[in-house]
Amino acid sequence: MDSGSHRSPVSFEQDGAIVRVGDDIERAELRIEIDGASGLEPALPDVFLFPVDEAVSVTVSQLRLEETFGQTLWDANGNQIGTIADGISDVPRGTYYASLTGAVKLHLRIEDATLWAEEHLDETGRSIVEMRFEEPTSVAIGARSLRSHPTATITVPDDPRALLDALPYLAASIKEHTCERSWPTIRQHPPALERGEQLEVPTELRAPETGIEIRIPPTYEHCYRVAPLAFYLGADVSAGESPALVLENGHVEPLKTRRADLAERVGDLLDRCLLLDSLVREAGYQPMGNAEYERLAPQLPFYPPNLYDLPPADQLLEYLEVPREVLDPFTPCWPKRAVLRPNPEDVAVLPSLLHELARIDVAHSPDAIPPTVPSDSTTGGGRDRGGEKRRSDALLTAHTFPAQVPGTCRLHPEAMERARTVERPTPDGASLTLATVDSARARSFRQFADQVRHETAVTVLEQPTAAALRDAVEADRTALYCENPTTEAGIHCADRTLPFDELGAVGSPVVWLADVAPGVTGEALVSAGAIAGILCDEPANQDAVFGALDQLCAGFSVADAVYTADVDRAVDVRFVGDASVTIVRRVSKTPTVVDVRSVDEDRYAFTIRSYPTDVVRQGTAVKPVSAEDVVGRVLEECNHDGYWLIGADAKQALPITTAEVASLVENDGFTVRLDGRLLTTADIGECPLQEVVQDGP
């Protein structure tokens, strides 16, 4: 049965004991295993606590779901009962609601039942949720597309005043303009922007009415800089002499002062709104027990739950009273800082950047683009090429200039568009091709292939011919890594140089050229179909390369994989296309780095940071989980603090031992860095991992 209407992106199909919930926009599917012979029947979408696109009902005694997260249960009045990860049992007969996030956002309405629910991890580390009922029970299943693609298009002429008028309509994709907007599933992809002769806004789009207005001079520079804040707040945008935030309660907040320019003020407001919204929402639909709440709330001039029902403008006025230094220790790292040009050519990239909640700046020259400085979890700073610590508030700097800027990503709108529709395999379905001209490196590549996690297929090409390398570039692989020297003339192979214009359609979403000469831009790869190109001035050490490839297959974005593996420690790295893309999908696991620092013999301090992905975006609250083993016991102690926002540094109070560090390395769910060096199972070799940990980097 297919119950999706012709306009709904969601569909339901039953195949025996399996119900497939499809999302046509995302080209994704979530499977529910049921018992009993009951068929699917249409259900009303308005019977749920949260909005859904489509719904069906079925009578079952048991449900089983794989690879979901954020599983929460509410009673009939919308009061939270608990999270399924903590186990649900002994609840009285009644009507309950459940919410789970997987490849599709799922909501359940369980009618007049006594139920048990639990989550466990299978032998591969996947999350399994099982729900059982005392007797056959009617369950309404509602689903909502995650909508990481635009579903409407706004046409704007090459006039900054027209863009200013269009900005409020981009926030029409946010389902609720309260503090709940901090949940990423509430913030769906904004409408696309295309250039045309006149302003045309689809009739189905409605600009929000939040009582918040942003006034700016009508220039592209000002429009781009305030766009993320206007989107998040659902603010009206109008022309004014100087940048200001105007609230319906009469308050006017300057957005440019002697102490802070417009970009800094917008960044500060985004920081505080997302963070404080995540505390106020504890009084809302899905209280998670945020770790930040317990530490930050006592320092605030207000009691966060009291703000939940206030109008957005009044909430914001309270937020403005909090000193910045109080918020700084808890502010998450942003996924991207994008530097745009002050002209209409960059209009097209704006919606995708807003969907990520990227920070946006504007420059008149590529000389003003700051390089990415990867954040160091233990100090809050970053490391430059000389080892000096510097602070960074974004995981990646990207730009739209036709220039080669080390440590940044040159954005391409077509690559960003392809990133939305890329087929993402699971780790055991991923495939890598590694090419080199060096025999010793080829041997180490084959050793890596033997030790790689999961069932990832690795092909090694030693001194490939031009024909062999062309076939590898065009093959349908997850990523291609190539150490062959590359110049503007092409890639040098065993028999001849392979010019870029001889390449057909690039089959790998990620192509890593590890030995490029100045002048090689990677533009040809993106034009031929690649989503992200990684360009290095020389091959990095093999441990960093293997670490980055391992990270890619663990679900990290391209840039995060490179930077967490410290590839840039000794070589220049730049990206082209969309380096924020995730090419391996791990729905129920968030890419997580455990930064470990030795403090004494057999004692290590550690910090945990979870990284955003295409599924788990800014505003998500997570806590790491594992099976009942050494790692599980370590994480149970960590989780006493509660959930942490994606991108925040969760410093742990209690140290861990050498054996516990070794167990974290062997666990598939985590990346471990010891004193700044990435550790992998490849470090084991013939030596016990505990000895590797004790010896240090």
CB 17 within 8 A of CB 90: no
- pLDDT tier for residue 587 given thresholds of 50, 70 and 90: low
Q: Report which of 343, 400, 348, 25 is spatially closest to residue 155, judged by C-alpha positions.
A: 348
pLDDT for 616? 79
The torsion angles phi and psi of 31, rounded to 5 degrees, stand at -110, 135
Select, from the ranges 211-225, 248-262, 374-388, 657-671, the one with the highest average predicted confidence (pLDDT). 211-225
Q: Report which of 487, 525, 480, 486 is spatially closest to residue 506, judged by C-alpha positions.
A: 525
The whole-number average pLDDT for the span 349-367 is 95
pLDDT for 7? 63
Helix/strand/coil (H, E, C) string of 482-546? Answer: ECCCEECCEEECCCCEECHHHCCCCCCCEEEECCECCCCCCHHHHHCCCCEEEEECCCCCHHHHH
Half-sphere exposure of 132 (CA within 13 A, CB side): 7
pLDDT for 391? 31
- pLDDT tier for residue 635 given thresholds of 50, 70 and 90: low
Q: Which residues contact 578 (CB under 8 A, 6 or more apart)?
A: 409, 411, 412, 415, 416, 418, 419, 531, 532
Separate counts of helices (H) and strands (E) for the chain: 16, 39
The better pLDDT of the pair 1, 406 is held by 406
The whole-number average pLDDT for the span 287-309 is 89
| Position 81 pLDDT exceeds 50 | yes
Per-residue pLDDT tens over the stretch 137-154:
999 999 988 777 888 999
Per-residue pLDDT tens over the stretch 22-66:
888 777 788 999 987 678 999 998 899 888 889 999 999 999 998
Structure token digits, residue 268: 């500060």
- pLDDT tier for residue 488 given thresholds of 50, 70 and 90: very high
pLDDT for 588? 57
CB 535 within 8 A of CB 481: no
Structure token digits, residue 96: 């309950």
User: Three-state DSSP class for 300?
Assistant: coil
The better pLDDT of the pair 67, 567 is held by 567
Q: Name the burial class of residue 308, with classes exposed (0-12), middle (13-18) and buried (19+) by CB atoms within 10 angstroms of its CB.
A: middle
The torsion angles phi and psi of 650, rounded to 5 degrees, stand at -95, 90
User: Three-state DSSP class for 109?
Assistant: strand
Residue type present at position 477: R
- pLDDT tier for residue 639 given thresholds of 50, 70 and 90: low
Structure token digits, residue 361: 């700046």
Cα separation values, 461 from 206, 434, 465, Å: 54, 6, 9
| Position 385 pLDDT exceeds 70 | no
The torsion angles phi and psi of 418, rounded to 5 degrees, stand at -65, -30
Hey, what domains does the chain have and what are their CATH numbers?
10-144 (no CATH), 153-352 (no CATH), 376-577 (3.40.50), 592-695 (3.40.1170)
The better pLDDT of the pair 562, 69 is held by 562
pLDDT for 378? 34
